[in-house]
Amino acid sequence: MAREWTVGEVAARSGVAVSALHFYEQRGLIRSHRTGGNQRRYGADVLRRVAVIKVAQDVGISLADIRAALDSLPEGRTPTRVDWARLSAIWRDDLDQRIAQLKKLRDGLTDCIGCGCMSIDRCPLRNKEDRLGHDGPGARRLVVR
């Protein structure tokens, strides 16, 4: 029989708070089963899943995207190197776009601070050459993620 882990053991081993593990379970990112005494027990695969979750969160991947990726794995199986390569390839384009946005922000931040407002005509970050002003007053941007 494979070793099972209590929530406290998973928390100690992974460095993730018990409350975070409960949250991940509520969101369907990890799974446990209950003993006859109604205590949570986790399989060994949960440690690697938690590691994948934390790495993905650290680079800004949403929990919804993490869940979709983990849902693509066979039930209860520990993600392998091949699985991780596939998951990270899915996220690569998004990460590359974020890196480009951060570089643009970094390079244009001085002008932004200098203008004090992102709505004037010289803002290189949000309204280069006052393109949005040609459409009239009011909000013009809606960022959907």
CB distance 126 to 143 below 8 Å: no
What's the angle, vertex CA 89, arms to CA 86 and CA 91, rounded to 5? 115
pLDDT for position 123: 62
pTM surpassing 0.85? Answer: no
Give dist(CA 93, CA 70) in Å, integer.
Answer: 18
Q: How many CB atoms lie within 10 A of CB 52?
A: 22
pLDDT for position 144: 44
Q: Which residues of the chain have pLDDT under 50?
A: 142-145
3-state percent helix, strand, coil for the chain, nearest multiple of 5: 55, 5, 40
pLDDT for position 102: 87
